[in-house]
Amino acid sequence: MAKSEIGKWQAEELGYSLSFKERQAIRILVIEPEQELRQVIRNAVQSLGYGSVYCVSDHSLGLMRLEEDTFSHVFYAARSKTVDVLSFLDSVFSIDLNHFCIAVCENPEVDEIFCHLQRGTRGFITKPVTTEMIDYAILQATLGQAFSDTILNASDRNEAFSALMAATLNKVARARRQALRNPSAQGDLDRYFQDLKMVSELVRTFWDGGREVFMSRMIDFFIELSEGPATRLGSLRKKLREERKTILPVE
């Protein structure tokens, strides 16, 4: 996928939604050196019905603000001439692991964004920023599937998103079986299908070497997964088994 397309998925295709009350509960910190862009994000957040937004011009001021007040979401400039942004992210999560961080990028490289995702970032948008992109990023970060430590610590992008696809397909399969037994569980199935849609978009963005290379790596991943804990992917296999017990218990 071209760099210009990164972060420009259509908000209406996401399939998630937040109630008015849920939107009002969201508190957003914007860390962006460009005054005009700060104002664009502020106006968009307010027009979308989110609770509150506070803007600062640099990452150091952002950390100070995070230590003084509580925010649920953090939009931050993905690049800085004065701070190491990846170290900044570590500091953000040391304050509160539950922060939903969203990177604001200009002509980003795929590897660059992947490093941010590995550090814990839950979404990204690219300049020029639109209201739709901001809404999508907040919804994706808030309601989309989180990345497990196993996935984030993968050796390369193809392994990481093979693992993410495996985990998501596992949830969809379990939810479908549960919904067939109990129609009231259809909501879980719908939610996991939306996760699968989001993961498919991420795969298209982040695969390394194109579709065929990724598909080959994903097949190898599933083979390794089936061989059990003797492989270094055994921990993920164990995690998937635990999810079967905790997320959708067998009746």
CA 202 and chain centroid, separation: 9
CATH number of the domain where residue 131 is located: 3.40.50.2300
pLDDT beyond 60 at 249: no
Instruction: Please report whether residue 251 resides in a domain.
Output: no
State the DSSP code for 27. Answer: E
Q: How many CB atoms lie within 10 A of CB 222?
A: 15
- pLDDT for the residue 85: 97
- Between CA 55 and CA 39 the distance in angstroms is 8
Instruction: Please report whether residue 15 resides in a domain.
Output: yes
Instruction: Please report whether residue 181 resides in a domain.
Output: yes
Which tens digits make up the pLDDT trace of 131-168? 999 998 999 899 887 776 666 778 888 988 888 888 88
Q: pLDDT-derived band of residue 130, with 50, 70 and 90 as boundaries?
A: very high
Mean pLDDT of 121-125: 91
The region of weakest confidence among 42-46, 90-94, 203-207, 224-228 is 224-228
Residues 115 and 163 in one domain: no
- Between CA 128 and CA 224 the distance in angstroms is 42
pLDDT beyond 60 at 251: no
Q: What is the pTM of this model?
A: 0.74
Which of 143, 172, 201 is the last residue before a domain boundary?
143
The region of weakest confidence among 130-134, 167-171, 247-251 is 247-251
- Between CA 48 and CA 73 the distance in angstroms is 15
- Arithmetic mean of pLDDT over the chain: 83
Count of domains observed in the chain: 2
Residues 70 and 189 in one domain: no
Nearest to 115, CA basis, from 139, 88, 142: 88
Alpha helices (H) along 109-207: 110-119, 131-143, 149-152, 157-181, 186-206
Q: pLDDT-derived band of residue 7, with 50, 70 and 90 as boundaries?
A: very low
Residues 37 and 139 in one domain: yes
Residues 191 and 214 in one domain: yes
CA atoms within 13 A on the CB side of 181: 11
Residues 230 and 125 in one domain: no
Residues 33 and 137 in one domain: yes
Residues 206 and 124 in one domain: no
Where residue 120 falls (left for φ over 0; alpha for ψ -120 to 50; beta otherwise) is left
Domain assignment of residue 29, given as a range: 3-143
End-to-end, the C-alpha distance of the chain in Å comes to 43
Which tens digits make up the pLDDT trace of 183-207? 887 887 888 888 888 788 888 888 8
Residues 116 and 165 in one domain: no
